[in-house]
Amino acid sequence: MPAVSATDNCLIIAGYVVGQCEMRTSPAGVPIGRFLLEHRSSQMEAGLAREVYCRIPVVACGAPVANVVCDLVPGEAVRVRGFVGRANNREGEYRLVLHAAHIEIFNAD
């Protein structure tokens, strides 16, 4: 198997904001926004349509992207681009979180 490069960890997913967004500031003064993204779609797998549903926590660190989070409202349609990582570094803990590099708000109609 070939070596995996750092650029191979990229996720783009669209969905809806679920619940209230949270904002805080790190001890270093970095603004951090968090929200839950719900995705529903129909995807083709092995030649068959498959209904896909998932919820993934999104973390946005730094002023440009965190400022977008503070304006999000429940039910708003967004497309998020970023990388996937573990929610925390505890041994045996494998929950994933999407670290947003870009958040696009769009009209889903």
**Regarding the domain delimited by 13-105, which CATH topology (the fold level of the hierarchy) does it fall under?**
OB fold (Dihydrolipoamide Acetyltransferase, E2P) (2.40.50)
Q: In the numeric block, which tokens belong to residue 8?
A: 């191979």
Quote the DSSP letter at residue 9: -
Specify the pTM. Answer: 0.87
- Rounded CA gap, 58 and 14, in Å? 12
- Rounded CA gap, 103 and 109, in Å? 18
The pLDDT of residue 1:
59
Q: What share of the chain is helix, strand, coil (3-state, %, to 5)?
A: 10, 60, 30
- Rounded CA gap, 34 and 84, in Å? 14
pLDDT tens column, 74-104: 999 999 999 999 887 776 677 899 999 999 9
pLDDT tens column, 3-53: 677 678 999 999 999 999 999 999 999 999 999 999 999 999 999 999 999
Separation in Å, CA 55 to CA 26, 52, 97, 102: 25, 10, 10, 18
Indicate the average pLDDT of the chain. Answer: 91
Cβ 10 vs Cβ 81: under 8 Å: yes
